[in-house]
Structure 1
Amino acid sequence: MLLQNISVLLVNNISKVKELCCWKPPAVGSLKLNVDGAMFFDRHKAGIGAVLRDDKGDVVLAASKIEYEVNELEDIELLAMFGGIQICANMGIRRLILESARLLMVNEVNASEASFSLLGNLVREVKMLKALFEVCLVQHVDRAGNEVAHKLVRNAWNVENLDMWWENLPEFVIQAVWLDKNL
């Protein structure tokens, strides 16, 4: 009886942890874009990582991009959102969920009032791109739910400009994609 109770507790706790922090697939018929930005201060560069997945968790597109003229973390995260949503709009995607671990930028993009921050023009551009979709939700995700995008951004300092993968994923993200699909 004790072993059964412990087993139930473990299953319930694992379910709660997964609900709070793990990547979740989008609804059927939608795609989910996870983005991340990072600064490489010692190299005077910044990077963007993005992964687009379907409702089964299969990767449609993954990318690592280097940026040179970025000095703030908020700037690079917003650029990641902008670039990702722009690619999705050009692909003709109709239903999109965009996730970022930077709550401040998620709130800026979701705010109904105009942004008066230094990034206001870019925030407006992201909002205009959102209007091109039938549905486009921008939401915050815990860092643990954004692991694949994080690994892609960490790769960006190796990239000359932009690396994109459509079918064969790079070795450094395969395990994280598998864990997202199977946990």
Structure 2
Amino acid sequence: MVFENQFKSPTTILELAKSDLSLFRKVHCKVLGTIERIQTVTEVMKWKPPTWPFLKANFDAAFDKKEERMGMGVVIRDSKGDLQATLVASRDNISSAFLAESFALLRAMELCQDLGFNMVEFEGDAKAVVDAVKSNAEDNSWMGQVTEDTKQVLSLFPLWQLSFVFKCCNKAAHEAAKVAIRSRSERVLLEEGLPECMSVVLTNKPCTTV
């Protein structure tokens, strides 16, 4: 039998075909494995709704070092990704990004306390702040007082949780914080959000099948 302008026996051609098929399967498995890893990373690197009946409160702060000014954004959503509350507020005489994020977390907890939300997952992308609040070590410094106040509020609600997330999972609160730093008054919106945040909120909503 002539194959690729060379005479080869049917047995040889069959062995070549088997070899090519084996190589194809190996490459195919590697491609599928890569796709699965990409899908897994994509799932991890996006906002996830809380498990019902919990709410999720994302918080973030924008900090202007030169002006010593901050803006804080808080976005609270339910398991369907629907908005329950949005807060934007600013504050002056802020000396560091750590302090700005600390105030944002404390205000997020105070808001949930005021609204009677007893089952809340708090998420922020300031790892140092999250770690400080979750630490058992007491911080008696002036800046640490905000951390200790936050710990005190957190201790009052046994079903509240606090977690660090990457910035890509905290986009709605980030957009709210950017609006807040330009604002001079605190605003709390119930069951609605800022126009600047809505595209992120809608993108974050979990897909449902009819």
Structure-2-length-normalised TM-score = 0.78
Change (3 A) 1:42 1:124: closer
Residue 109 of structure 1 aligns to a residue whose secondary structure is helix
Aligned to 1:58: 82
The structural deviation recorded for 1:54 is 0.9
Using the TM superposition, name which of 4-13 and 39-48 deviates more. Answer: 4-13
The CA distance in 1 between the partners of 2:40 and 2:140, in whole Å, is 40
Residue 170 of structure 2 aligns to a residue whose secondary structure is helix
Residue 181 of structure 2 aligns to a residue whose secondary structure is helix
- Pick the aligned partner of 1:16 from 21, 28, 41: 41
Structure 1 unpaired stretches of 5+: none
The structural deviation recorded for 1:84 is 0.7
Contact 1:96 1:133 in 2 (8 A): no
Please report the RMSD computed on the Cα atoms of aligned residues, expressed in angstroms. 2.2
Change (3 A) 1:45 1:120: closer
Aligned to 1:40: 64
Within the alignment, does 1:80 sit opposite 2:104 as a pair? Answer: yes
Aligned to 1:168: 192
Aligned to 2:178: 154
Per-residue Cα deviation, 1:136-171 (whole angstroms, up to 9, x for no partner): 111101000000000000101331211222133222
Within the alignment, does 1:49 sit opposite 2:78 as a pair? Answer: no
Aligned to 1:92: 116
Using the TM superposition, name which of 23-32 and 114-123 deviates more. Answer: 114-123
- Pick the aligned partner of 1:141 from 159, 162, 165: 165
- Which stretches of structure 1, 4 residues or more, deviate above 4 A after TM superposition? 4-9
The structural deviation recorded for 1:83 is 0.7
The CA distance in 2 between the partners of 1:164 and 1:65, in whole Å, is 9
Contact 1:50 1:64 in 2 (8 A): yes
Change (3 A) 1:44 1:74: closer
The share of aligned pairs that are identical, in percent, is 20
Letter in 1 for 2:169: G
Aligned to 1:114: 138
The structural deviation recorded for 1:116 is 4.1
Letter in 2 for 1:14: Q
Letter in 2 for 1:78: S
The structural deviation recorded for 1:119 is 2.1
Letter in 1 for 2:189: W
The CA distance in 1 between the partners of 2:35 and 2:198, in whole Å, is 27
Contact 1:93 1:133 in 2 (8 A): no
The structural deviation recorded for 1:174 is 1.0
Contact 2:176 2:194 in 1 (8 A): no
The CA distance in 2 between the partners of 1:168 and 1:130, in whole Å, is 25
Q: Looking at CA atoms only, which structure, 1 or 2, has the larger radius of gyration? A: 2
The CA distance in 1 between the partners of 2:132 and 2:205, in whole Å, is 30
Using the TM superposition, name which of 22-31 and 114-123 deviates more. Answer: 114-123
Per-residue Cα deviation, 1:75-102 (whole angstroms, up to 9, x for no partner): 0100001111011112221111111101
Structure 2 unpaired stretches of 5+: 1-23
Within the alignment, does 1:180 sit opposite 2:204 as a pair? Answer: yes
The CA distance in 2 between the partners of 1:102 and 1:117, in whole Å, is 19
Letter in 1 for 2:128: L
